[in-house]
Structure 1
Amino acid sequence: MSLLKGQHSQQQEYEVERLFSNLNQVTLKREPGSLSSAIFLVAGTTIGVGILAIPAESVTQESGFLASSVACILCWIFMVTTGLLIAEVNVNTMCELGSGGVSLVSMAKRTLGVAGVQFSCWSYIFIHYALLIAYVARSSDILTNFLGIPLWESATLFSLVFGGICYFGSQRFIGAVNGVLVFGIIISFTSLVVAASGDLHLDALLKANFSAVPMSIPIIALSFVYQNVVPVLCTNLEGNLSKVRTAIVLGTAIPLGLFLVWDGVILGSISTPEMADKIADPLQQLLSTNGVVGVTIIQAFSFLAIGTSYIGFVLGLSDFLADFLKLPAGENKPLPYILTLIPPLVLALLDPEIFFKALDFAGTYGVLVLFGIIPAAMAWSDRYSSSSTSIKLQQLVPGGKVTLSLVMGAAGFIILSEILENFMHL
């Protein structure tokens, strides 16, 4: 039996290698990406300015470091699982359609039907535009303060530079840029940790209020969003599921480590309940004790984190729009990038506050639906539907229907809890 299983696995690998060999000759016309570039892309997309808000009063302060660390690790496992499910369905879809550059549109159409496509598409577009608007608005504030130029010039400069990197840059160049930015993030983050750890109390890290954990999960989950670049990874790594798995696990493990360290440093510095009550925003404590140095470090970290996330979201949305518009796979057409870059730039300059409110809604409901329930539903259909492709690749997530049910059930439970919580506060 094991011999037959091994032969079947070898046949799967051969089919995938043959498919991507043909795609490279006919449709992709692009250089394959390296594993290190893929890891940096995932890490850079995941690390956003949201990391600075994790120890805020409304997120992890109430639950404490011990309980919030458990929540961060569980959210990481959950988001890694859904990313692997997306990769599994994506490569299967490329094998069945015989083309690269497959986004959520084709995946949802193949597995969930017309209704699934409509819901997935609009959720995807809403979340991405909301996040891109927030990134452009925040980066323009930082550049205006640093360069002393008008807000519209800062926003335009940021969009042109980072959008140009995505459009004109090769896979290797984008990977190198992401690597430099992630390295800068780690340096600035280390400086932040050193500045904030002067009054660290280890006994404060033992606080655990697990009853407060569910309220923090939507925001923590939003901090681990990277799934939008998984289709890009699958194409760049030529459907090599082993490399895709490594890129996802290692690429998200870097932000997890940063999240835990930052959460511990801030919450460990809040040694008494009286002090905790006064610190709604831990960054204010850091700024008040470090002055200009603290402001400079935070702005540097924020800008670098925004830059890496912006690159990932631009690549993900432009790839999605190219598939949505039925453009040829593997060719850099300007239209998807224009539709990706211009609306967030214009809307961020008009009235960003409206979209920050929308962003809160997206974090609570959109992310857990789009990157929680839908990946498990697509994998369920792909694995167990009689109409699915005859080329069955290895399953990246073990556990069969039990695991898929747990993923959908966990996301649904958090969404329902949030709805009930908001209803009770009306």
Structure 2
Amino acid sequence: MAVASLQCYPLLNSPPLSVSRSISARTPAHRRAVGARWRLQRCCRSQSAESRSQDSQPQLERLFSNVNQATMKHEPGSVTGSIFLVAGTTVGAGILAIPAVTQEAGFLASAVTCIFCWIYMIVTGLLVAEVNVNTMCELGSGGVSLVSMAKRTLGTFGVRTACFSYLFIHYALLVAYVARSSDIITNALGIPLWESAALFSLAFGGLCYFGSQQVIGAVNGFLVFSIIASFTSLVVVASGNIQLSSLLETNFAAAPQSIPIIALSFVYQNVVPVLCTNLEGDLSKVRKAIVLGTAIPLVLFLVWDAVILGTIPGLAGSGTIADPLEQLRSSNGIVGPIVEAFSFLAIGTSYIGFVLGLSDFIADLLKLPSGQNKPLTYLVTLLPPLVLSLLDPEIFFKALDFAGTYGGNDPFTVSLITNRCFFSGMN
């Protein structure tokens, strides 16, 4: 029985005559750039019989596609850097609020819920990666974002819905990141809010604009390690009175109400197209980055949930909703500064991931060739969140309240729209 498979092979034959003449008529640097772009991998459908031995398959070496347009050097992304990008994008300051929504269910029930949400979000990310790489192969280029993916799978209405919801959610979250980080910086340095917001946007936005893949990966990796260090300090301070009996309290009936918040805490799919481009369409590496990158937040979520719920007895099934983090703050003065440090670092890594994802999306939306008009792309990415965070940080939450008229007033409702746009046409 023949089995059809979609495989990517490099173009091994020489360029067409017209392309060769065009290349030879230009400068050496430009000839190398055009040649590198022309040699991008293509996709072809091949039929393979089960009886055919594996040795008979052509053993072809992949041509890299990440070529620096200025230096003409190969700059492949690393799996480690991609893992940190996924982990940093996923881990947000909202992790500290998870016990507030899981306390009624208890640790065991919320742990099961968290693991199921993690598995679901891994599957959705892998689906996005499959569609992204296949779209890259069909178009013969890297840097494919949600715009091209939606055009390929969803049609005109799907593209418009996906683009609107993507922009809405990303701008809303970037506004929240800038507003919260500026509060932290102002409290620490005593400078005005507008200076704090500008300082944060310039520092982290400048890193995304000027930094290479290696530099962004190194900085993001350092920030993730700093998050883990501050989180460990927080766990050590908070875990002094953990009781096994409190951990065993369970109320599975209350678990479903925490699913929207827990699922939203595992959002990272916006950087999957960035991963596919950085890792040059190597799906095995992309899958590894997604699974391991989301496993780090999963461990942090479970540990933090256990520490908080294990120190406050009698919450499961009690119907009493309290803020465990505020109780922890009031009982120990060291907790406040650690929480602020953790929140700032988590916001920084999430900001980097969302800026990279949104800038690629905008470049694709405006049909800008890869590497061209980068100032315009980042201006559209960075300036609106900065301005809105200074004018009215609540503007997107007001819009979410308005959207609640049509089925829900929490951010998860809008994220579901995006998920439907992502996945409804992928089969």
Alignment TM class, shorter chain as reference: 0.7 to 0.9
Distance of aligned partners of 1:273 and 1:80 in 2 relative to their CA distance in 1, 3 Å threshold: closer
1:152-231 correspondence runs (5 A):
152-231=194-273
Distance 1:124 1:77 in 2: 22
Tell me how far 1:31 sits from its aligned partner: 1.6
Partner of 1:72: 114
Counterpart of 2:135 (choices 93, 99, 102) is 93
1:300 aligns with 2:341: yes
Distance 1:77 1:363 in 2: 21
Letter in 1 for 2:88: G
Distance 1:233 1:26 in 2: 17
TM-score (norm 2): 0.82
Tell me how far 1:215 sits from its aligned partner: 1.4
Distance 1:22 1:181 in 2: 29
SS in 2 for 1:352: coil
CA contact (8 A) 1:101 1:330 kept: no
Distance of aligned partners of 1:228 and 1:284 in 2 relative to their CA distance in 1, 3 Å threshold: same
Partner of 1:41: 85
Tell me how far 1:356 sits from its aligned partner: 4.0
Partner of 1:379: 426
SS in 2 for 1:146: helix
Distance 1:332 1:194 in 2: 48
Distance 2:363 2:377 in 1: 6
Report which structure shows greater RCO (CA 8 Å, sep ≥6): 1
CA contact (8 A) 1:144 1:150 kept: yes
Distance of aligned partners of 1:67 and 1:249 in 2 relative to their CA distance in 1, 3 Å threshold: same
Distance 2:383 2:370 in 1: 22
Partner of 1:368: 416
Distance 1:358 1:276 in 2: 34
Distance 2:240 2:67 in 1: 58
1:320 aligns with 2:361: yes
SS in 2 for 1:12: strand
CA contact (8 A) 1:130 1:358 kept: no
Q: Deviations over 1:69-116 (max 9, x none)?
A: 111111111111110000000011111111111110010011111001
Letter in 1 for 2:9: Y
1:14 aligns with 2:9: yes
The structure number with the bigger radius of gyration is 2
Distance of aligned partners of 1:252 and 1:273 in 2 relative to their CA distance in 1, 3 Å threshold: closer
TM-score (norm 1): 0.82
Tell me how far 1:25 sits from its aligned partner: 6.2
Partner of 2:148: 106
Distance 1:91 1:275 in 2: 46
Distance of aligned partners of 1:52 and 1:313 in 2 relative to their CA distance in 1, 3 Å threshold: same
Q: Deviations over 1:33-54 (max 9, x none)?
A: 1110000000000000110110
Distance 1:146 1:374 in 2: 41
Letter in 1 for 2:416: L
CA contact (8 A) 2:238 2:308 kept: yes
1:50 aligns with 2:94: yes
Tell me how far 1:355 sits from its aligned partner: 2.8
SS in 1 for 2:370: coil
Partner of 1:421: none
Distance of aligned partners of 1:359 and 1:71 in 2 relative to their CA distance in 1, 3 Å threshold: farther
Q: Which ranges of structure 1 fall in alignment gaps of 5 or more residues?
A: 381-426
Distance 2:295 2:121 in 1: 11
Partner of 1:341: 382
Distance 1:194 1:275 in 2: 27
Distance 2:321 2:257 in 1: 18
CA contact (8 A) 1:134 1:356 kept: no
Distance of aligned partners of 1:254 and 1:219 in 2 relative to their CA distance in 1, 3 Å threshold: same
Partner of 2:171: 129
SS in 2 for 1:271: coil
CA contact (8 A) 2:169 2:415 kept: yes
CA contact (8 A) 1:55 1:61 kept: yes
SS in 1 for 2:424: helix
Tell me how far 1:151 sits from its aligned partner: 0.5
Distance of aligned partners of 1:290 and 1:25 in 2 relative to their CA distance in 1, 3 Å threshold: closer
Distance 1:362 1:338 in 2: 29
Tell me how far 1:205 sits from its aligned partner: 1.1
SS in 2 for 1:180: helix
Distance 1:275 1:23 in 2: 55
Tell me how far 1:368 sits from its aligned partner: 2.4
Tell me how far 1:24 sits from its aligned partner: 4.5
Q: Deviations over 1:300-331 (max 9, x none)?
A: 00000000000000000011000000001244
Distance of aligned partners of 1:25 and 1:163 in 2 relative to their CA distance in 1, 3 Å threshold: closer
SS in 2 for 1:235: helix
Tell me how far 1:363 sits from its aligned partner: 2.5
Partner of 2:191: 149
Distance of aligned partners of 1:275 and 1:138 in 2 relative to their CA distance in 1, 3 Å threshold: farther
Distance 2:140 2:64 in 1: 9
Q: Deviations over 1:122-152 (max 9, x none)?
A: 0000000110010001000000000110010
Moved more, 146-155 or 264-273: 264-273
| Larger relative helix fraction | 1
Tell me how far 1:273 sits from its aligned partner: 4.2
Q: Deviations over 1:186-217 (max 9, x none)?
A: 00000111111111111111122222222111
SS in 2 for 1:378: coil
Root mean square deviation of aligned Cα: 2.3
Q: Which ranges of structure 2 fall in alignment gaps of 5 or more residues?
A: 12-39, 43-61, 402-408
1:192-271 correspondence runs (5 A):
192-271=234-313
